[in-house]
């Protein structure tokens, strides 16, 4: 753990989870043979909105990722979108508070972790 100039532990570096989610949404699209219109229908947004999210111009919301996980079925647990094994097999009800906390910690960011490495 690194120390700050004040002698207190330094705050962990933050990294956006959005590129990880976008990459995994693209993988889901390929797996399901879906296009941006299909994803738009699943999350209740426009095709243009999905395009912006995939390009990183707009953020994925917790509810959108939950909907995509349900669309993906049992082979697409939420852990797959976040590359986080601690999220294995949760229910929407049990996971929503954890994801909302993550989303609220600095504009969709999490502490840098080895779990965020690409799959």
The per-residue DSSP string of the chain comes to --B-TTSSBPPPPEEESHHHHHHHHHHHHHHHT--HHHHHHHHT--HHHHHHHHTTSSPPPHHHHHHHHHHH-TTS-HHHHHT-GGGSS--HHHHHHHHHHHHHTTTSEEE--GGGS--
| Within-domain flag for 8 | no
Q: Tens digit of pLDDT for each residue in 63-101?
A: 999 899 999 988 777 777 777 655 555 455 555 565 566
| Within-domain flag for 98 | yes
Residue range(s) defining the domain that contains residue 80:
14-112
| Within-domain flag for 2 | no
| Within-domain flag for 5 | no
Q: What's the pTM value of the predicted model, to 2 decimals?
A: 0.64
Count of domains for the chain: 1
- CATH number for position 92: 1.10.260.40
Mean pLDDT of the chain, nearest integer: 75
| Within-domain flag for 67 | yes
| Within-domain flag for 9 | no
The proportion of the chain whose per-residue pLDDT surpasses 90, expressed as a percent, equals 37
| Within-domain flag for 51 | yes
């Amino acid at each position: 753990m690194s120390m700050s100039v004040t002698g207190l532990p330094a705050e962990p570096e933050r990294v956006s989870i959005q590129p990880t989610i976008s990459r995994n949404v693209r993988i889901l699209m390929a797996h399901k043979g879906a296009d941006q219109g299909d994803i738009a229908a699943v999350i209740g947004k426009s095709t243009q909105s999905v395009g912006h999210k995939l390009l990183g111009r707009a953020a994925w919301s917790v509810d959108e990722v939950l909907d995509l996980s349900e669309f993906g079925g049992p082979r697409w647990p939420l852990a797959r979108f976040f590359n986080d094994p601690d999220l294995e097999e949760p229910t929407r009800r049990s996971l929503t508070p954890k994801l909302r906390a993550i989303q609220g910690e600095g504009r969709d960011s999490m502490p840098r972790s080895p779990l965020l490495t690409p799959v």
